[in-house]
């Protein structure tokens, strides 16, 4: 076949050349080095710049622009990568343009936002993180990779590892929540899942994003400025990124934001000194969508040409969609503003990625029509999606065991999310086909069976605010606004004739994700009105929430007996929610993000510090609000089960340890309720006195355990010196001798503690 001929010719040249090129004492070049060096010797500067250029196809749009002539550019060797193109047929067509028409026949690399599933959609990442099930998250990434790679894709722009503590930011939905330690474990699991053990054609290259600090944008307003200290950067923002480097991630994406005046895409310290040199990261770095061009708006450069120079000199290897490298880099080299060596380093990283993916050996390795037909949305993948969706759900309240529901009697199922296919699969669902998602109405009918009468009513529009609905629909939403009075009347009729009311309310998917910041994170007013009216009936109400961020639920918590957080649970959402509602599955999810009582408390997260004037209701001059407590409505790590668990005080095997010792912590957990169930046993520490102030609690480990009703288990953890380290007053990552506390419990608030000392 044509491509085989090309690659053999290239390999043959590489071998011949390498025989002469090897300096005597240098380490032997790997086959990849030989191949890439040989290829680069043949490349013109234009061809090299082509490899650093990426364009979106017109198949899907994830940003504000399109390069009309991208197909001609491919054929001229001016493109290294295409994104937003998939299916074996389409990627094969574009790949042929590159491989057959260009002088050196270099294949394209196809990227796409496979964020929480490709066609089989899993819960949004924030939802999935609530499962605290690393194996399940690795599995969902693995399935996503298998489907994507069968559909022509080589590369996913995931995982998003931005620690975020501001629920106004819509993109909080894409991450793993607020905690650094847990976020790092999840980031690793996702990279392992996407990339698998090797690039054998059934996995894809992962891309850690957005480097860095995007989760700390001011006011939660998307694309806004970030200004954080070096301490926050090193303690909170960078660890999950580093974790993915350790896990062998193949690519990185920079963030849109600036940090302290320097946009990430021009931040040499961040991209070259930290990522490439200090962390020894050997993959390539792509910008975010037109992020180079946007530097002109940021105001750190005067024009796009300068922006390109700033980016490449900072260590950027690929320009996503901006055409800036393509337009100006050659001129910049001519003017001495950019060294050829800098371009060569970037080209080498991009070509190495293509080599590792096996694209030189077979550019069509990932166009697998047969696999696409049999594996995409297979029964096994849908089963996995249902399983992970159930694991992601968090029971926030269950007063007097309203849940699980009986499979008899009548249920009113009311709300704009009750019979809605599009929203179930959430934002950033890429190639996901929402026509195939299971609505809550269908799920309830299937799981409850014919013994239950279901009275459905939409009840309210997502929002009666026409400008919000118009914005949703302009971004691919399908929202239809009906007459609010008629909707309410139908809802009240359905509710009146039913024993129990299930209210499916929350956000439309378009109210979350990119460019979907909200200043008010409550359930929209149209749905609040519905809730208030339903409440007046005095019937048992179960609130089923679908949303992509923590919501303020103070009124709901005070008025309804049962609340189930289901996020946007994916293709199998309806079945999975029904499994939980009817007790086929006992919920065990725990929040990975704090739910505030009011937007005014933001930022609110569990590992806060004490301040010099800790809150004291009897002391006016203490750190508190006049109108609200400091506590969240639902803390980090929180989530109920249909059963109950009790914990003993943690027992430590030593009172004093040295840095070389291990500290064993044990606790007995008993299932004291009447269902079998799972519990996420969480371990936190506090360094009581540090050379810099330390958070009140920091998660250091957890175990998810299954206990039959009545069963007890001793749960053991081991702490080492590494768990006690932090950046000291001199920014050295170390532990300091002194007093520590260990906390074990079922969430970050409800814990029991023990003390120990670290000595020199
Ligand atoms: C987003 C990235 C995404 C890229 C490509 C950007 O707007 O910020 O997260 O990967 O588009 O679709």
Confidence band of 63 (pLDDT split at 50, 70, 90): confident
Place of tokens 């849908």: 382
Q: What is the mean pLDDT of residues 22-46?
A: 86
Taking a C-beta distance cutoff of 8 angstroms, is the pair 154, 118 a contact? no
pLDDT of residue 43: 98
| Ligand 1 mutation target, pool 514, 515, 516, most atoms within 8 A of CB | 514
Q: What is the mean pLDDT of residues 447-458?
A: 97
| Ligand 1 mutation target, pool 55, 114, 173, 288, most atoms within 8 A of CB | 288
289 pocket-lining for ligand 1 (C-beta < 6 Å): yes
**Separation of alpha carbons 456 and 448, rounded Å:** 14
CA dihedral 562, 416, 585, 394 (to 10 degrees): -60
113 pocket-lining for ligand 1 (C-beta < 6 Å): yes
759 C-beta neighbours (distance < 10 Å), count:
10
Confidence band of 19 (pLDDT split at 50, 70, 90): very low
Q: What is the mean pLDDT of residues 729-737?
A: 98
CA of 96 to the centre of ligand 1 (A): 26
Where does CATH 2.60.40.10 sit in the chain? Answer: 645-759
211 pocket-lining for ligand 1 (C-beta < 6 Å): no
**Separation of alpha carbons 235 and 733, rounded Å:** 10
CA of 476 to the centre of ligand 1 (A): 16
pLDDT of residue 368: 85
**Separation of alpha carbons 56 and 62, rounded Å:** 8
pLDDT of residue 417: 98
Percent of the chain with pLDDT over 90: 92
CA of 368 to the centre of ligand 1 (A): 26
500 C-beta neighbours (distance < 10 Å), count:
21
**Separation of alpha carbons 530 and 391, rounded Å:** 29
CA of 289 to the centre of ligand 1 (A): 6
β-bridge pairing 712-719 and 726-727: unpaired
Up-side HSE of residue 391: CA atoms within 13 Å toward CB? 24
The yes-or-no verdict on residue 328 having pLDDT over 70 is: yes
Which ligand 1 atom is nearest residue 256's CA? 8
507 pocket-lining for ligand 1 (C-beta < 6 Å): no
Minimal-distance CA residue to ligand 1 atom 8: 288
**Separation of alpha carbons 205 and 156, rounded Å:** 6
Question: Could you read off the pLDDT of 632-645 as tens digits, one per residue?
Answer: 999 999 999 999 99
Q: What is the mean pLDDT of residues 523-550?
A: 98
**Separation of alpha carbons 637 and 162, rounded Å:** 18
Choose the weakest-confidence range: 17-26, 339-348, 408-417, 670-679: 17-26
CA of 53 to the centre of ligand 1 (A): 16
157 pocket-lining for ligand 1 (C-beta < 6 Å): yes
Separation in Å, CA 528 to CA 261, 461, 600, 668: 41, 11, 20, 42
Confidence band of 25 (pLDDT split at 50, 70, 90): low
Question: Could you read off the pLDDT of 242-283 as tens digits, one per residue?
Answer: 999 999 999 999 999 999 999 999 999 999 999 999 999 999
The yes-or-no verdict on residue 625 having pLDDT over 90 is: yes
Taking a C-beta distance cutoff of 8 angstroms, is the pair 73, 79 a contact? yes
167-176: buried (b, 16+ CB within 10 Å) or exposed (e) per residue?
Answer: bbbbbbbbbb
| Ligand 1 mutation target, pool 289, 431, 517, most atoms within 8 A of CB | 289
CA of 210 to the centre of ligand 1 (A): 9
Instruction: Please provide the average confidence, as pLDDT, over all residues in the chain.
Output: 95
Up-side HSE of residue 248: CA atoms within 13 Å toward CB? 13
Q: What is the mean pLDDT of residues 334-360?
A: 98
Taking a C-beta distance cutoff of 8 angstroms, is the pair 433, 119 a contact? yes
CA of 735 to the centre of ligand 1 (A): 38
222 pocket-lining for ligand 1 (C-beta < 6 Å): no
CA of 450 to the centre of ligand 1 (A): 45
| Ligand 1 mutation target, pool 62, 64, 114, 254, most atoms within 8 A of CB | 62
65 pocket-lining for ligand 1 (C-beta < 6 Å): no
pLDDT of residue 596: 98
Which ligand 1 atom is nearest residue 157's CA? 10
Q: What is the pTM of this model?
A: 0.95
Tokens of 703: 């175990």
Whose CA is closest to 596, among 631, 563, 625? 631
Q: Kindly tell me the sign of the dihedral angle through the C-alpha atoms of 524, 527, 533, 539.
A: negative
Question: Could you read off the pLDDT of 476-519 as tens digits, one per residue?
Answer: 777 888 999 999 999 999 999 999 999 999 999 999 999 999 99
752 phi/psi in degrees, rounded to 5: -120, 150
328-351: buried (b, 16+ CB within 10 Å) or exposed (e) per residue?
Answer: bbbebbeeebbeeebbebbbbbbb
Query: Do you find a cis peptide bond into 603, omega within 30 degrees of 0?
Result: yes
Catalytic positions are 288
The yes-or-no verdict on residue 5 having pLDDT over 70 is: no
440 phi/psi in degrees, rounded to 5: -65, -40
518 pocket-lining for ligand 1 (C-beta < 6 Å): no
Give residues with Cβ within 8 angstroms of 741, minimum separation 6.
Answer: 685, 686, 688, 753, 754, 755
Confidence band of 26 (pLDDT split at 50, 70, 90): low
| Ligand 1 mutation target, pool 63, 208, 294, most atoms within 8 A of CB | 63
Where does CATH 3.40.50.1700 sit in the chain? Answer: 390-593
Minimal-distance CA residue to ligand 1 atom 12: 62
pLDDT of residue 389: 98
Give residues with Cβ within 8 angstroms of 743, minimum separation 6.
Answer: 650, 683, 684, 685, 686, 697, 751, 752, 753
171 pocket-lining for ligand 1 (C-beta < 6 Å): no
294 pocket-lining for ligand 1 (C-beta < 6 Å): no
Give residues with Cβ within 8 angstroms of 5, minimum separation 6.
Answer: none
61 pocket-lining for ligand 1 (C-beta < 6 Å): no
Give residues with Cβ within 8 angstroms of 27, minimum separation 6.
Answer: none
Separation in Å, CA 220 to CA 214, 547, 549: 10, 17, 12
Level-2 CATH architecture, domain 645-759:
Sandwich (2.60)
Confidence band of 10 (pLDDT split at 50, 70, 90): very low
Whose CA is closest to 524, among 544, 552, 562? 552
Q: Quote the strand ranges of 113-219, DSSP E.
A: 155-156, 207-211
CA of 151 to the centre of ligand 1 (A): 20
288 pocket-lining for ligand 1 (C-beta < 6 Å): yes
Q: Helix, strand, coil: what percent of the chain each, to 5? A: 35, 20, 45
- What three-state secondary structure class fits 400? helix
Question: Could you read off the pLDDT of 71-121 as tens digits, one per residue?
Answer: 999 999 999 999 999 999 999 999 999 999 999 999 999 999 999 999 999
Q: Which CATH class is domain 390-593?
A: alpha beta
The yes-or-no verdict on residue 344 having pLDDT over 50 is: yes
Provide the terminal-to-terminal Cα distance of the chain, rounded to the nearest Å. Answer: 66
CA of 483 to the centre of ligand 1 (A): 36
223 pocket-lining for ligand 1 (C-beta < 6 Å): no
Taking a C-beta distance cutoff of 8 angstroms, is the pair 492, 460 a contact? no
Place of tokens 């059963």: 643
Minimal-distance CA residue to ligand 1 atom 6: 289
Question: Could you read off the pLDDT of 379-435 as tens digits, one per residue?
Answer: 999 999 999 999 999 999 999 999 999 999 999 999 999 999 999 999 999 999 999
The yes-or-no verdict on residue 299 having pLDDT over 70 is: yes
**DSSP H/E element including 716:** strand 712-719
């Amino acid at each position: 076949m044509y491509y085989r001929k090309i690659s053999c010719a290239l390999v043959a040249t590489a071998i011949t050349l390498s025989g002469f090129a090897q300096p005597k004492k240098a380490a032997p070049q790997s086959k990849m080095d030989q191949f890439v060096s040989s290829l680069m010797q043949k490349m013109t500067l234009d061809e090299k710049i082509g490899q650093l250029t990426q364009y979106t196809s017109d198949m899907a749009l994830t940003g504000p622009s399109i390069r009309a002539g991208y197909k001609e550019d491919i054929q001229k060797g001016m493109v290294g990568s295409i994104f937003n193109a998939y299916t074996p047929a389409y990627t094969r067509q574009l790949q042929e343009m590159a491989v057959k028409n260009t002088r050196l026949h270099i294949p394209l690399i196809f990227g796409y936002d496979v964020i929480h599933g490709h066609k089989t959609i899993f819960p949004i990442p924030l939802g999935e993180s609530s499962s605290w099930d690393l194996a399940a998250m690795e599995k969902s990434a693995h399935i996503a990779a298998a489907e994507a790679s069968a559909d022509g894709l080589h590369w996913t722009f995931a995982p998003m590892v931005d620690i975020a503590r501001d629920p106004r930011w819509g993109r909080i939905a894409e991450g793993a929540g607020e905690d650094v330690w847990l976020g790092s474990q999840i980031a690793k699991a996702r990279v392992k899942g996407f990339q698998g053990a090797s690039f054998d054609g059934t996995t894809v290259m992962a891309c850690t994003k957005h480097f860095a600090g995007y989760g700390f944008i001011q006011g939660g307003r998307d694309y806004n400025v970030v200004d954080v200290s070096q301490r926050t950067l090193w303690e909170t923002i960078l660890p999950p990124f580093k974790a993915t480097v350790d896990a062998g991630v193949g690519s990185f994406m920079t963030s849109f934001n600036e940090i302290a005046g320097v946009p990430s895409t021009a931040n040499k310290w961040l991209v070259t000194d930290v990522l490439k040199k200090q962390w020894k990261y050997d993959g390539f770095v792509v910008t975010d969508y037109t992020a180079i061009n946007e530097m002109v708006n940021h105001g750190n450069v005067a024009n796009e040409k300068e922006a390109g120079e700033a980016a490449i000199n900072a260590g950027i290897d690929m320009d996503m969609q901006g055409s800036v490298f393509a337009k100006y880099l050659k001129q910049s080299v001519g003017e001495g503003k950019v060294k050829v060596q800098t371009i060569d380093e970037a080209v080498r990283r991009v070509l190495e990625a293509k080599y590792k993916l096996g694209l030189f050996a077979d550019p069509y390795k990932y166009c697998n029509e047969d696999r696409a037909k049999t594996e995409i949305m297979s029964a096994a993948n849908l089963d996995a999606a249902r399983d992970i969706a159930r694991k992601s759900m968090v029971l926030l309240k269950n007063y007097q065991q309203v849940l699980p529901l009986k499979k008899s009697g009548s249920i009113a199922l009311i709300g704009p999310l009750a019979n809605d296919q599009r929203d179930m699969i959430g934002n950033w669902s890429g190639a996901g086909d929402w026509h195939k998602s299971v609505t809550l109405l269908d799920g309830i009918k299937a799981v409850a069976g014919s013994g239950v009468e279901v009275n459905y009513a939409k009840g309210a529009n997502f929002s009666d605010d026409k400008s919000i609905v118009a914005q949703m629909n302009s971004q691919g939403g399908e929202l239809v606004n009906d007459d609010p009075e008629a909707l309410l009347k139908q809802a009240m009729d359905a509710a009146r004739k039913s024993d129990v009311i299930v209210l499916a309310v929350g956000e439309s998917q378009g109210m979350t994700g990119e460019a979907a910041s909200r200043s008010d994170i409550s359930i929209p007013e149209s749905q609040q009105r519905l809730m208030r009216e339903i409440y007046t009936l005095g019937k048992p109400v179960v609130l089923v929430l679908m949303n992509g961020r923590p919501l303020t639920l103070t009124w709901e918590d005070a008025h309804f007996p049962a609340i189930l957080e289901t996020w946007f649970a994916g293709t199998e959402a309806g079945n999975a929610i029904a499994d939980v509602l009817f007790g086929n599955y006992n919920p065990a999810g725990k929040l990975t993000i704090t739910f505030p009582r009011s937007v005014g408390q933001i930022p609110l997260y569990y590992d806060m510090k004490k301040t010099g004037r800790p809150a004291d209701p009897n002391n006016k001059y203490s750190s508190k609000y006049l109108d609200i407590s400091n506590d969240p409505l639902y803390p980090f790590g929180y989530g109920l089960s249909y059963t109950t668990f009790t914990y003993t005080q943690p027992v430590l095997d030593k009172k004093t340890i040295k840095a070389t010792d291990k500290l064993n912590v044990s606790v007995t957990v008993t299932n004291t309720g009447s269902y079998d169930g799972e519990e996420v046993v969480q371990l936190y520490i506090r360094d009581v006195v540090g050379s810099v102030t330390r958070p009140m609690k920091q998660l250091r480990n957890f175990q998810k355990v299954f206990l039959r009703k009545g069963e007890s288990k001793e749960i053991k953890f081991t702490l080492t010196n590494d768990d006690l380290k932090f950046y000291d007053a001199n920014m050295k990552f170390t532990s300091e001798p002194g007093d520590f506390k260990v906390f074990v419990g079922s969430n970050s608030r409800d814990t029991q503690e023990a003390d120990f000392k670290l000595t020199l």
